[in-house]
Homo-oligomer: A and B are copies of this chain.
């Protein structure tokens, strides 16, 4: 897992992610944690947790970076081939357990794919 120090800031972020089922944007975490840590620290910890396989990230429709906890990822291998969903009404952003397949392309060597969905979440669509 590499040399990692369990600092207060790291533990704060780990606790936040352990206690949520949704994805969180770096920009928003910076705002929420402004009183307790520097924004540079937030960005750097998120980076580190991702390269350690504890978090994974993806780009939202809004162009900001979102993070969510990993299940079954390691430093060596990220196992997050699942779609992400952003609710157009409440903004809730989450990992979906569904699988998706990547189209076969003869003239490209596809290494990574990201499927991003939007629409209404259960609550907003009143499903």
Contact = CB atoms under 8 A, between A and B. Distances in A.
A117 B112 contact: yes
Interface residues on A, range: 35 or more
The number of times this chain is found in the oligomer is: 2
Interface stretch (A2-10, A46-54, A56-64): A56-64
A99 interface: yes
Contact of A114 (B102, B106, B112, B115): B115
A108 B117 contact: yes
Interface string A99-115: 11111111111111111
Interface in A7-65: 59-61, 63-65
A70 interface: no
A115 B115 contact: yes
Given A59-B59, A60-B59, A61-B59, A109 B125 contact: yes
A85 B63 contact: no
Contact of A118 (B88, B101, B104, B112): B112
